[in-house]
Amino acid sequence: MTVLDSVSIWFYYRAMSDWMTLAELADAAQLPARTIRFYIARGLLDGPVKAGRGAAYTPEHLARLEQIKKLQADGRMLSDIARTLSGDTAESSAVAPTPWLQFAPAEDVVILTRADMSPWRMKQIRAAIDELAHNIRNEPNIRNEPSDGKRRQRWAAQL
């Protein structure tokens, strides 16, 4: 055994002596073990450093639990706490607004389309909307016509 081996063994032993079981962590944090498992599942707390039957937690886990408890005492929601602890800001996680155009080819028809597309694509969509508006204006109201199954089928197929 070399000096380097004894140093690494001592360091490993020292780190292991600071490890806690879930029950010990729950007692130290004054939280139920179920709550700690929930925080791990939600991503608020890292999982144990040693998994399995002898799962082990470090003082860093305890410090993180204390941070979570303090933020909750300040009235923060868990989703806000998760963003705060991960370093995200509300502005960076928000969805950017998207501009939309609204067309009304008839009284009872409204079409929404994104406004941030290429002029070529907008020209295609505008042509399709104009064609639909023409068909709506020129097509008789089939609900008030005598029963003509073939005409209804053709009209429904155009939609």
Confidence of residue 66 (pLDDT cuts 50, 70, 90): very high
- Please say if the pLDDT value at position 60 is more than 60: yes
Query: How high is the mean pLDDT of the chain?
Result: 78
Residues whose CB is less than 8 angstroms from the CB of residue 90 and which lie 6 or more positions away in sequence, other chains included: 83
Confidence of residue 25 (pLDDT cuts 50, 70, 90): very high
Q: What's the domain count of the chain?
A: 2
Is the overall model pTM greater than 0.85, yes or no?
Answer: no
pLDDT tens per residue, range 80-90? 888 888 876 65
* Residue 72 in tokens: 């909750």
The domain that holds 81 is classified in CATH as 1.10.1660.10
Same domain, 8 and 40: yes
Of 28, 47, 27, the C-alpha closest to 37 is 47
pLDDT at 53: 79
Residues whose CB is less than 8 angstroms from the CB of residue 151 and which lie 6 or more positions away in sequence, other chains included: 142, 145
Of 101, 103, 155, the C-alpha closest to 129 is 103
Question: Which residue range(s) make up the domain with 14?
Answer: 3-93
Once rounded to an integer, what is the mean pLDDT over residues 24-47? 91
Q: Are strands 109-114 and 100-106 parallel, antiparallel or unpaired?
A: antiparallel
156 to each of 10, 133, 136, 139, how far by Cα in Å?
A: 80, 15, 12, 11
Same domain, 73 and 149: no
